[in-house]
Amino acid sequence: MSTTSIRDFIHGIPKAELHLHIEGTFEPELMFEIARRNNIKIKYESVEELKKAYNFDNLQEFLDIYYAGASVLIEEQDFYDMTWAYLEKVHSQNVIHAEIFFDPQTHTDRGIAFSTVINGIDRALKDAQNKLGISSRIIMCFLRHLDEDAAMDTLKVALKYKDLISAVGLDSSEVGHPPSKFQRVFEQAKKEGFLTVAHAGEEGPAEYVWEALNLLKVSRVDHGNRSLDDDKLVQELVNRNMPLTVCPLSNLKLKVVKDLKDHPLKIMLNKGLLVTINSDDPAYFDGYINENYNAVSQALDLSKDDIYELAKNSFEASFLDEKTKKGFIEKVDEYYQNNR
Ligand code: ADE
Ligand code: ZN
């Protein structure tokens, strides 16, 4: 038995992050710097004043501020700088693989070219592979508050960058915008060879998770908290070994849970669900991946064995090829053996 504290154990264990919106990593300090160089006025006077606005009662209140923040991103270098800052940060937290969402419509609807966005993100990811040893995938999300035709147009533009994008996803305002609204575009994306994921059951009902599985044919469910309302659905998720990318601090900040002590993560693990821990939008929710692991393990009294399982799950649920997955899981096993 080693004397490594649970905090140090969390810090050191190799991890993958699978639910991370790159626009949600945009820290206020960098936002002000980029706004200044692009001659854009932010409606808050200072970093401190902006941070005071990071108080949300629900998903929509957060999204309004998140889209406003993203509007200062103009040049390819801006997307590079934001992405690189995230990668350096999580490198220091022992993240060795990251699957990153981006929201092209947030930018193309403001007149920014798709190529500007994806080239900036991709260049940072390639540098991270070369300089930090972090591997990665890109997931392109459709904004569900917009219509399916707009998503279809986005998919068409994305085809030129097919080699850079592993999967398509679905994010933004959930309630009132069920997965069924996007069935055709997901079908088309599948035909083009993309994997699929979708946010479901964050604020929306268990029925939306069923739709994500059966209509969008997802390989992972993002969040999925509300699945626990439906025993049959839980059984289905277990039978399919369907990963859930859970985001504890996001759930707290957006009032999906009142208190982290009420967070369903431990119940999910006990039910045999393939759960992973992720940060969602770390610049807005008070923490990157290790802060999420720390907060939830404190609130739910998780053990080193739980953390080991969660870290292993993060690779198991990734879109890496089987051989690479196995290699990463061996690293987790070795760390566990030396620090348990
Ligand atoms: N976009 C960024 N973060 C999101 C979240 N937690 N849910 C839905 N859409 C999002
Ligand atoms: Zn999310």
pLDDT digits (tens, 9 = 90+) for 235-278: 999 999 999 999 999 999 999 999 999 999 999 999 999 999 99
280 C-beta closer than 6 A to ligand 1? yes
pLDDT digits (tens, 9 = 90+) for 141-183: 999 999 999 999 999 999 999 999 999 999 999 999 999 999 9
Question: Where residue 87 falls among pLDDT bands split at 50, 70, 90?
Answer: very high
CA–CA gap between residue 154 and residue 152 (Å, rounded): 5
Give mean pLDDT, residues 37-53.
96
pLDDT digits (tens, 9 = 90+) for 186-200: 999 999 999 999 999
Average pLDDT, the chain: 98
Q: Please, which residues bridge with residue 17 across strands?
A: 98
CA–CA gap between residue 71 and residue 230 (Å, rounded): 39
What 3-state DSSP class applies to 224?
coil
pLDDT at residue 164, as a whole number: 98
339: CA distance to ligand 2 center in Å? 31
Examine the pLDDT at 3 and tell me if it is beyond 90. no
pLDDT digits (tens, 9 = 90+) for 285-318: 999 999 999 999 999 999 999 999 999 999 999 9
pLDDT digits (tens, 9 = 90+) for 11-25: 999 999 999 999 999
Q: Which two tokens stand for residue 11?
A: 């810090």
59: CA distance to ligand 2 center in Å? 10
Sorted by sequence, the CB contacts under 8 Å of residue 126 that are 6+ apart come out as none
Q: How many CB atoms lie within 10 A of CB 25?
A: 23
Helices (H) and strands (E) in the chain, counts: 16, 8
Q: Following DSSP, what letter does each residue of 130-180 receive, concatenated?
A: III--EEEEEEEEETTS-HHHHHHHHHHHGGGGGG--EEEEES--TT--GG
> Residue 25 gets which letter from DSSP?
G
Question: Where residue 2 falls among pLDDT bands split at 50, 70, 90?
Answer: confident
59 C-beta closer than 6 A to ligand 1? yes
- The class of domain 6-339 in CATH terms is alpha beta
**202 in catalytic set:** yes
Examine the pLDDT at 1 and tell me if it is beyond 70. no
CA–CA gap between residue 158 and residue 121 (Å, rounded): 14
pLDDT digits (tens, 9 = 90+) for 93-123: 999 999 999 999 999 999 999 999 999 999 9
> Residue 80 gets which letter from DSSP?
H
CA–CA gap between residue 181 and residue 165 (Å, rounded): 22
Q: Following DSSP, what letter does each residue of 230-289 receive, concatenated?
A: -HHHHHHHHHTT-EEEE-HHHHHHTTSSSSGGG-THHHHHHTT-EEEE--BSTTTTT--H
Catalytic member of 202, 203, 211, 309? 202
pLDDT digits (tens, 9 = 90+) for 53-62: 999 999 999 9
User: Where do the structural domains in the chain lie, given as residue ranges?
Assistant: 6-339
Which of 54, 56, 60, 63 has the most ligand 1 atoms within 8 A of CB, as the residue to mutate? 63
pLDDT digits (tens, 9 = 90+) for 226-243: 999 999 999 999 999 999
